[in-house]
């Protein structure tokens, strides 16, 4: 895997830090943008997949606004505003037509980038995500509301180490975690299946059959609405597949991406 080049992009609320990994096999490789889940970072979330993906793809790997090395974020971590900031970064990198992939909140941001016409990606890969966090839209009441999110001490300490060194001791506990707990459909995502029906690009949906955040009926409904979709349901797996089954997700993504280059 190539050595990362860390860059920064100024926004109205701070800067977005991101890595650029040139493809190992060709200087003219297509670009792949990877968006991570909330409370993680680009490297922490996608790191186990990078060796496979970077073989034939140039990788753009941002830390989402307010996460990791990125400084500042839109009020309330508003996903539409975050998507706008990411689109401006991608425009600078001439990546508005790149391949695009996102996991969980990163998948929500990816869908907003497409739905709002902020970019026209070559393909879209959605891992462990949903088109809406609004029960009135999906017909599903999640068992875990962000406001009630709890995690073990070790997980909390490990996650804090992704953020605090670039901000200050306690930043994760004071800013990132409360930001997640305050997310609501209006600040996260509330698209409708009719919005997805207008996505004409190739889409790959990868989802765990036992996802505790977004049940299997959600990716199935997404796949039924999307005109050009490949659906992969991974048996026995829960949320955040890029952590639980990274090599399987990477292999699935490469097969999909190679088919649409």
Write the pLDDT tens digit of every residue in 75-118. 999 999 999 999 999 999 999 999 999 999 999 999 999 999 99
Q: How far apart are CA 236 and CA 238, in angstroms?
A: 7
pLDDT at 3 over 60: no
pLDDT at 5 over 70: yes
More confident residue, 153 or 73: 73
Our count of domains for the chain comes to 1
Q: How far apart are CA 194 and CA 177, in angstroms?
A: 32
Q: Tell me, what's the pLDDT at 129?
A: 97
pLDDT tens digit sequence for 178-222:
999 999 999 999 999 999 999 999 999 999 999 989 999 999 999
Averaged pLDDT for residues 12-17: 98
What is the CB neighbour count within 10 angstroms for residue 105? 27
Q: Tell me, what's the pLDDT at 233?
A: 97
For residue 196, what are the domain limits?
5-259
Q: Tell me, what's the pLDDT at 150?
A: 63
DSSP 130-159: -SB--HHHHS---SS-GGG----HHHHHHH
What CATH number is given to the structural domain containing 40? 3.40.50.1820
In the chain, what percentage of residues exceed pLDDT 90? 87
pLDDT tens digit sequence for 110-151:
999 999 999 999 999 999 999 999 999 999 777 666 656 666
Q: How far apart are CA 101 and CA 203, in angstroms?
A: 10
Nearest to 49, CA basis, from 57, 163, 99: 57
Averaged pLDDT for residues 59-70: 98
């Amino acid at each position: 895997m190539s050595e990362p080049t860390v860059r920064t992009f100024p926004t109205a609320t701070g800067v977005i830090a991101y890595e650029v990994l040139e493809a190992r096999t060709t200087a003219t490789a297509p670009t792949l943008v990877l968006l991570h889940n909330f409370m993680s970072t680009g490297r922490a979330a996608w790191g186990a997949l990078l060796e496979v993906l970077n073989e034939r793809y140039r990788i753009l790997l941002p830390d989402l606004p307010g996460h990791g090395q990125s400084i500042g974020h839109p009020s309330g971590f508003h996903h539409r505003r975050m998507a706008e900031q990411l689109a401006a970064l991608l425009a600078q990198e001439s990546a508005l037509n790149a391949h695009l992939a996102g996991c969980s909140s990163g998948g929500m941001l990816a869908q907003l980038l497409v739905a709002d016409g902020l970019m026209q990606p070559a393909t879209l890969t959605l891992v462990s995500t949903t088109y809406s966090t609004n029960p009135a839209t999906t017909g599903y009441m999640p068992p875990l509301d962000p406001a009630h999110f709890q995690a073990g001490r070790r997980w909390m300490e490990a996650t804090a180490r992704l953020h605090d060194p670039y901000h200050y001791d306690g930043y994760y506990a004071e800013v990132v975690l409360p930001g997640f707990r305050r997310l609501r459909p209006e600040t996260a995502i509330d698209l409708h299946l009719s919005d997805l029906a207008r996505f004409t690009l190739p889409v790959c949906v990868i989802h765990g059959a036992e996802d505790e955040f977004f049940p299997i009926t959600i990716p199935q409904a997404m796949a039924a609405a999307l005109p050009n979709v490949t659906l992969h349901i991974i048996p026995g797996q829960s949320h955040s597949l890029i952590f639980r089954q990274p090599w399987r997700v990477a292999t699935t993504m490469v097969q999909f991406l190679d088919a649409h280059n």
